Amino acid sequence: MTDFTEFEGKNVDKALEIASKELGKSIKELQYDVVSYGSTGIFGFVGVKKAKIRVKIGSNGEALDSAQEVQDTARDLVAAAFDAETEAPPKETEVPAKQEEPESDLTELAAVGEKALRKVLDYICEEAKITIDIQNGRIVYKIEGGNSGLLIGKRGQTLEAIQYLVEKIVNRQNGSRVRVLVDVEGYLSTRKINLKRIATKMAAKAQKMNKPVTIGQMNAYDRRIVHLHLKDNQDVRTQSMGDGYYRKLVIFPKKRRRGKSDN
């Protein structure tokens, strides 16, 4: 439960200094609202009013850190999204057949998803703009502005959670599944380039050492990028290992043919 504590000062800055000192938090960490900006009155004597701020206090009596509160909310989104996922992930080496919806239907579905996405963004950050791109039977929401770091999260986990929720809402009343992507400041494109670079480097390592190499724990989208990137590499094969949404991707060197010269 969130409570509030009020602080007064000659002006807002003074009130913040007092709150910072009493609560043991830096001013940047405080989450507060300005109740009154105060007034200097007439000649500084008559009608003087102090500025007043209202600082959010947690149930433990400590001041809430605005950024931390948003990060906790983002973590909750991730947990709620992926802990609830019980379906087995699709085969990552196969490209599903396209079942494109009529563009008019996708436009309506895109509007539904945009409304849901806007609610999530408004809760996490401010001034984030959404543009919609419908291509190849897929809805892509592009986000610009706001706090991109919070929206993306560690290793893109917050962005994945947001995308998961929006996709579920879009497909809730739709007969066939519509693919939904949510991108922040071109993150997905940059991520794809980096994954391909890592995949190429690790494949070369597996060949040189003639031993399997592992690329951490990856989500289904990232694993699929690596699988497809190395699909035509004649010297290695890829395989996802482990259970759950986040699994390890292992690159195995293919056995060299006997009698083949190494020269």
CATH number of residue 92's parent domain: 3.30.300.20
Range of the domain at 200: 190-253
Helix (H, G, I), strand (E, B) or coil at 237: strand
Q: Are residues 34 and 86 in the same domain?
A: no
Q: Are residues 164 and 195 in the same domain?
A: no
Cα–Cα distance, 64 to 29 (Å, whole number): 8
Which two structure tokens, joined as six digits, stand for 254?
């293919």
Cα–Cα distance, 242 to 220 (Å, whole number): 12
Average pLDDT over residues 110-134: 89
Report the half-sphere exposure of 255 (CA within 13 A, side-chain side).
3
Cα–Cα distance, 82 to 32 (Å, whole number): 32
Residue 171 pLDDT exceeds 50? yes
For the chain, the average pLDDT equals 77
**Contact criterion met (CB below 8 Å) for 49 and 37:** no
Q: Are residues 53 and 116 in the same domain?
A: no
Cα–Cα distance, 82 to 162 (Å, whole number): 11
**pLDDT per position as a tens digit, 8-46:** 988 888 888 998 888 888 887 777 777 877 765 444 444
Q: How many domains does the chain have?
A: 3
Confidence tier at 86 by pLDDT (50, 70, 90): very low
Q: Are residues 133 and 90 in the same domain?
A: yes
Can you give the pLDDT at residue 177?
82
Q: Is residue 259 a part of any domain in this protein? A: no
Q: Is residue 261 a part of any domain in this protein? A: no
Confidence tier at 197 by pLDDT (50, 70, 90): very high
- Where is the domain boundary, 64, 80, 111? 64
pTM across the whole model: 0.56
Can you give the pLDDT at residue 39?
64
